[in-house]
Every structure is written in C-alpha cells, then in structure tokens.
Amino acid sequence: MHLTRRKFLKVGGSSAALLAAVGCDQLPRELRVLYQSPKAVGPFQPPGTAEIDSMTHVLNRVAFGARPGDYERVRKLGESPAQASAAYIEQQLNPERIVDEAADFAVRRFETLSVPLGELFEYQEELLHNELMRGTLARAVFSERQLFEVMVQFWSDHFNIDPSKGDCKWLKVADDREVIRKHALGKFPDMLRASALSPAMLWYLDGRVNRRANMAEKPNENYARELLELHTLGVHGGYTQEDVMEVARCLTGWTVRSKNQKPYLEIGKVEFKLHQHDGAAKDVLGEKIPAIPERLSKTERERLGQKELDRVLEIVTRHPSTAKHISAKLCERFIADEPPSSAVKSVADAFSQSDGDIRATLRALFATEEFQKQRGNKFKRPFNFIVSALRATEARTDSGMEIVDYLRRMGHAPFNYPTPDGYPEPAAPWLGTLLWRWNFALAVSENNIKGTKIDFEALQKNSGGDAGFMAHLLGRQPSPEETQAYHESGAGLALMLASPAFQRC
C-alpha cells in the first residue's frame, strides 16, 4: 500500500506509540537478489509475552536482531527460556562451528575482499571501499555467526582506520581481514599486535614515519598516543605525556613500503629499519627497557629493537587500566550507555584472568545480572537499525549502495569515520537521525529501494496475522496504543520499523 510521507508522519506523530521516541538509554545483480530467498517459508512463532523475554533480549544484543523463525529456533535450545538463551550465547561464542553458507554466498560477489594484500593496489580505491562497505553489510544481515559480526563492528570502531588517508585506501581491506576478522573472538594481545603492525594502521597513525636516526630527530607520537588513550589504557588510564614519548621511542624504525616508493616492489610490506630505531634505554609505565648495546651484531640489535614493540604491548595489555577500559566499552555496547560499575569490574576480572581472551571476557559479561536485566534500554545505532530491519523482514537484498547511501545520510556508513576513536556507541550522537530512519522505514516497506525486496503478505501470514507480525517486529506483544497506530497508519510495517520499540534493543 502506498503511503505519502506526510500522512505517515502525521499518523505516526499523533499516536501514543511514537510519542515516547528516543526516550531511551555468479549471477547478474537482479538474479542474485531473487536468489537470496527467505528462510522462513512457513509459519513461525513470534514472542508471546508482554515484556521482552531473555530470548528476544539475546537476539537483540548478541545478534543484530531476530529474523522470522529465530525466536522459536532459540527456544528449542533449552528446557527454559533462560537455558535456551544461554545455549544460544554459547553457540555464538564458537562461530567456527556454525555453518554460514548464506553469508558466504552473499559476499562471494565482492572479489576484492579476498585479494592478497599486494594485489589490492591493482584495484580502484572506490571499488575497494564500496565492496568493503557492502560486504560488511551483507555479512551482518545474512550471517549465522551474529556475535562474530557484532564484535567485528565493535573492534572496527575500537581500532578505527579512515581509508581515505594515503595507502589506507588499498590497505584497509587487508586490515579488516587480517586484524579485525581474524582476531574478533580471539586474544586481545594478538589483535593488538596485529593492529600495531598492520600496514593500514602504520599509515593511518603515522607509525611508518616514526623514526629517530639521531638524537636530534623527534619521534612521531601519533600512534603511541592512540595506543595508550584509545586502544589500551584509556584516556584516564594513568599514563603521562612522558609515557607517550617513551612508547614512541620504543616503536621507532617500523615502516611500510608505499606504492609511490622506489623500487615499487612488495608494496604494503612492513619492515623494521635498525638505523631509524632509538636504541637507548627507556621507561614505559614504570617498566625499564634496557639500551641495546652497540657491541652486538646487527642481527642481534635488530632482534632486540623489534622485541621492544612486543615488550611495550606486553606492558600495556597487562596493565589493569586496559582491562577496565576494554571491559567498560564492552559493557557500554552490550549492557547500557552508562555501564554499571559492578558489571565492568566482573568483566575486567575475566579479561585479566584470561590474559585478554575475548570469548572468556564476553562469557563473563553475558553471565552478569546487569546484562540479563537491562532490556530494551539501548538505542540502535543507524547500522544496527538498518540491519535489524532487513533481518526482521527477511529482506532479499544485494546490500547495494542504495542502502549504504541511507547509512551515509545517517552518518554511520562502515569505514567512513575520520578520527581514530571510531563511531560513538551512546544514543546521544544518533538522535538526530530519526527523520532518515523514518524515510528508510517507508522506502523499504514499500519496496522502493533498488536491489532490496520484502514479501509483506508472506511475513504477515506466516507470523499469524497482524498481532503476531507486530510481536515479531517488536520482540514482545504490542500494546493497545501500538496496535491502534498500526491499523490507523495504513502502513503498519513502516510504522513498526519506525517505532520506539523497534529502534531500541
């Protein structure tokens, strides 16, 4: 049914269901779209409770929202809803055991995502950027490994790189594959080291020009500062400007071959140049790093110079402020914009005791009482909102640039954030995106987005009618006000997608 934007906003704005908004904490393109057929081809069970239950909660937080049939699939995993939810979390913590054919098929068309690092420079940067964004969107929508994709998003923000800078235009594709996706549910120290020596990160934060060939030359502190402030200890983690300078000295000498650098071979290769390394004694966060004796052979001095990077990373990853900083960010993502200190402490203890094991840390987080109780209090960021809408409607989509354009208008297209701190998690920066969310809800519900199709009649029928369909979208039974607004709007799907309840998780 066609609905004018004016009528939609009028009906939605006058209904009680919307008044509470934001009050919350290898085929042709067209054939590929048709091939992405919905999995829920028959009746499915929507939530039957008036409040968000534990299964809906984990599907909203651990995943990018429920697809038709996900709720009952989770329910079958345990004797009680709580047991079923715990079983689902444990499944998601082991993504390597989950078959992911739909996501694999969806990203197969994006050939550049699997191209070896050295060959990336043969492609136009716009193509690489577009395929990186579209591939990320497709995986989030179609993957069965939902927690993995959620954590890929989390770490992409944590180790943010703006691909517009220099060779990052080509190198970010490899960084996403070899740093973020390779370690998203692994060990934090391994991810940190991979990031520190990532060609893209060396470019983005100027590590490649951090050198001290003589005592008069001043090291570049950019990466050292962000390593301490953003990647490990946090802005209030107890480090000083002197620590930043000492870390920068430890990391001198690392560089990466540029596409504009003679002899134009092995572009993107990371190297350590001893003559550009500061081999004098250093003091990092109270830990002494001895000078490298000149009497040693060049090979031994190179080994010791390179080892200083590992020593710095060991010091910062074992620092208690790092456990607290990472845990606070995880709790902010999964529990609340202002995470409870009790939860942060429990998660930080797990992080420290497991030497930064991400799975063990998340397992501790999901076991906290705070995670279990904080339901429906998070405002979805634009990417999460659009992905959850596509998942909830079992959309057949090519994850095209039309959808990416909506994300750009909302300020949340993947790999477009210009500063090292990454996209913000709290609700406040995203409250100004409501109009574009409503525009997207209208467009997707009326099949007005090229490359994306929804079968509204099938969804309505398979969910048991209007009441079941609303319960599926909202994650609970609709209120009388929401039911009234749904029927009065003339476009119930658009209204539900734009409703406060759907925009929360």
Of 54, 39, 12, residue with least CA distance to 476: 54
pLDDT tens figures, 201-252: 999 999 999 999 888 899 999 999 999 999 999 999 999 999 999 999 999 9
Q: What is the C-alpha separation between 140 and 67, in angstroms, rounded?
A: 12
Inter-residue contact 437 to 403 (CB < 8 Å): no
Token pair of 475, please? 């994650």
DSSP 200-237: HHHHHTSGGG---SSTTSPPP-HHHHHIIIIISS-TTS
Banded model confidence at residue 186, pLDDT cuts 50, 70, 90 = very high
Q: Report domain extents, the chain.
A: 54-92+378-503, 199-318, 321-373
Considering the entire predicted model, what is its pTM? 0.93
In terms of DSSP bridges, do strands 452-453 and 287-289 run parallel, antiparallel, or are they unpaired? unpaired
pLDDT in tens, 239-267: 999 999 999 999 999 999 998 888 888 99
- Cα–Cα distance, 302 to 271 (Å, whole number): 11
pLDDT confidence of residue 281: 98
Tell me the pLDDT tens digit for each residue of 75-110. 999 999 999 999 999 999 999 999 999 999 999 999
pLDDT digits (tens, 9 = 90+) for 362-417: 999 999 999 999 999 999 999 999 999 999 999 999 999 999 999 999 999 999 99
Provide the angle, in degrees to the nearest 10, between the axes of the packed helices 146-158 and 125-142.
140
pLDDT at 22: 39
Q: Judge contact between 146 and 92, C-beta under 8 A.
A: yes
